[in-house]
């Protein structure tokens, strides 16, 4: 008995194979897209983390004094209107951001748009605030 296989009609098995292939290819494409998206996102985060965040702010204080503060990598470089420049490291603060030198004889406090500079326990730059945006 020689049976011929007929390829020109749809069987329940061919429908099942078509459904499995359709769902499988769709799922594979979805997973590959998600994997690509994940790797692109994590690579972008790594690139952003390796770039230092720099912020340059000018504070105007009483007595026509100014402090230009450049914040980067846990440090603040201060350019004072009296011509002095100093770089302070971030220190513990209960509120706002606090920067100090090693012996804490110089302390720069910054909270929001305000700042204060204390040297040897004396406030030398007080009531400092950033200029409002135009």
Q: Tell me: the pLDDT tens digits for 105-123? A: 999 999 989 999 999 999 9
Indicate if the pLDDT at residue 134 is higher than 60. Answer: no
Residue 100 dihedral angles phi and psi, to the nearest 5°: -150, 160
* 1 and 61 together in one domain: no
* 58 and 123 together in one domain: yes
Rounded Cα distance between 26 and 29, Å, is: 5
Rounded Cα distance between 14 and 16, Å, is: 5
* CATH number for position 90: 2.40.128.200
Q: Domain count of the chain?
A: 2
Q: What is the mean pLDDT of residues 72-82?
A: 92
- Residues 4-53 pLDDT 10s: 666 677 778 878 888 888 888 888 888 887 887 777 777 766 665 665 66
pLDDT band at 132 (very low <50, low <70, confident <90, very high): low
Which residues are bridge partners to 76 per DSSP? 71, 88
DSSP of 81-133, one letter per residue?
TTS-EEEEEEE--SSSEEEE-TTSSEEEEEETTEEEEEETTEEEEEEEEEPPP
* 38 and 87 together in one domain: no
Residue with more model confidence, 97 or 79: 79
């Amino acid at each position: 008995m020689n049976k011929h296989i007929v390829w020109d009609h749809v069987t329940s098995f061919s429908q099942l194979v078509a459904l499995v292939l359709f769902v499988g290819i769709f799922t594979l494409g979805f997973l590959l897209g998600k994997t690509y998206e994940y790797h692109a996102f994590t690579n972008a985060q790594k690139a952003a983390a390796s770039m230092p965040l720099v912020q340059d702010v000018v504070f105007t204080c009483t007595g026509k004094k100014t402090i230009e503060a450049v914040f980067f990598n846990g440090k603040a470089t201060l350019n004072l209107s009296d011509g002095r420049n100093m770089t302070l490291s971030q220190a513990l603060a209960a509120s706002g951001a606090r920067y100090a030198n090693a012996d804490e004889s110089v302390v720069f406090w910054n909270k929001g748009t305000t700042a204060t500079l204390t040297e040897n326990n004396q406030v030398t730059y007080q009531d400092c605030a950033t200029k409002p945006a135009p």
